[in-house]
């Protein structure tokens, strides 16, 4: 992986290399695709302003791949991205586009990109976005750099994805409020959070809020085992219990888990809360604003240095590049062992 060093001043040799690369890239387009994530606007802003600093033409593609097909392109200026750092969602909008998966749809998108005179692309999204980007770039030889924008934090090549920190904080705030009413009424709450394939949000939120149990896609949790935990809590005079259920848990989600538990215990008034798309919205945290800015800045500089088919990521506290092929297909992601152990012991 290639580290992208971020410094306030550029060396003479780096400027010379940039000048050579910039002769090939004059116009860059940026777009967001798939599910929205807090911090995407910070990334869009950084992409646009970094490109303008290097005297490039900058374009925003509205509604992702659908916008490519529909010829929905928008010139971007410094003013276009003013006062958007604190806004959730994405000013470029997003959409899921089935037509882009077809050869006809992709060809139409390419003709529009070509007509606009676009030399390179920055794509912000998750693995579906990356898959489309890799296919498109390979087929038409267009340089592309991707930025991981997904609250699930489940892409190989980056310790954190854009939006994960904000989403986790949103979940924690909601659970804290639910805990107040749960304790007041001696209630058992099952709270479902996003995480179809990855339990990152559930695990961190559960530890942060002192959940009695956390149910994850990565771990098979028997209902009898869960009931034992809840019963032990009641014996220890707990006035309430909170169970965090990731939507991808193998027992079938919060409603089904609550139903199975309620059949065997009745000493708590049982309630279910589905946080749903609440987790995607809201003003991004400082972490996600800075991460989005760093990744957008690095994406443009990577293109100018001749990089393509790469994802910008954060490893430790350093920006790095990972091949799109690895980011999409390498599934070595796993939850931290110490957090998994803490979730059991601290509960």
Tokens encoding 338: 């110490």
Between the alpha carbon of residue 67 and those of residues 81, 124, 134, 137, 331, the distances in Å are 19, 14, 18, 17, 30
- β 310-315/318-323 pair status: antiparallel
Quote the DSSP letter at residue 132: H
Burial 57-94 (b: 16+ CB within 10 A, else e): bbbbbbbbbbbbbbebbeebeeebbeebbeebbbbbbb
CA distance 284 to 245: 24
Instruction: Find residue 30's DSSP bridge partners.
Output: 60, 122
What order of strands is seen across the sheet that includes strand 241-246? 213-215, 241-246, 187-193, 269-274
Q: Is 70 a catalytic residue?
A: no
The SS3 assignment for 50 reads helix
Which stretches within the chain are classed as H helix?
Answer: 12-22, 40-53, 64-70, 103-115, 127-140, 164-185, 200-209, 223-235, 254-262, 286-304, 324-329, 337-345
Quote the DSSP letter at residue 149: B
CA distance 196 to 93: 23
- Which residue out of 152, 154, 165, 249 is catalytically annotated? 152
The SS3 assignment for 74 reads strand
Q: What are the residue numbers of the active site? A: 152
């Amino acid at each position: 992986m290639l580290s992208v060093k971020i410094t306030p001043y550029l060396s003479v040799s780096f400027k010379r290399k940039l000048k050579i690369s910039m002769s090939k890239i004059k116009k860059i387009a940026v777009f967001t695709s798939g599910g929205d994530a807090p911090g995407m606007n910070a990334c869009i802003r950084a992409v646009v302003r970094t490109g303008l600093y290097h005297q490039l033409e900058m374009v925003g593609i509205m509604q992702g791949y659908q916008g490519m097909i529909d010829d929905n392109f928008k010139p971007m200026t410094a003013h276009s991205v003013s006062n958007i750092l604190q806004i959730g969602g994405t000013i470029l909008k997003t959409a899921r586009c089935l037509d882009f998966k077809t050869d006809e749809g992709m060809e139409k998108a390419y003709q529009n990109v070509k007509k606009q005179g676009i030399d390179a692309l920055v794509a912000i999204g998750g693995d579906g976005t990356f898959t489309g980007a890799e296919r498109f770039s390979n087929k038409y030889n267009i340089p592309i750099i991707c930025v991981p924008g997904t609250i699930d934090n489940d892409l190989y090549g980056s310790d954190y994805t854009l939006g994960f920190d904000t989403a986790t904080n949103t979940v924690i705030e909601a659970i804290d409020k639910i805990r107040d009413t749960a304790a007041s009424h001696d209630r058992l709450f099952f709270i479902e959070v996003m995480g179809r394939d990855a339990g990152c949000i559930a695990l961190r939120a559960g530890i942060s809020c002192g959940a009695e149990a956390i149910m994850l896609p990565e771990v098979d949790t028997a209902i009898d085992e869960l009931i034992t935990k809840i019963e032990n809590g009641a014996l220890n005079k707990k006035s309430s219990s909170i169970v965090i259920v990731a939507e991808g848990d193998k027992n079938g989600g919060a409603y089904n888990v609550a139903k199975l538990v309620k059949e065997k215990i009745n000493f708590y008034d049982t309630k279910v809360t589905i946080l749903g798309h609440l987790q995607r919205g809201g003003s991004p945290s400082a972490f996600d604003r800075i991460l989005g800015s760093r990744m957008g800045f690095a994406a443009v500089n990577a293109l100018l240095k001749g990089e393509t088919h790469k994802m910008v990521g954060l490893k430790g506290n350093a920006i790095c590049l990972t091949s799109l092929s690895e980011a999409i297909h390498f599934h070595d992601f796993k939850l931290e062992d110490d957090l998994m152990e803490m979730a059991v012991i601290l509960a």
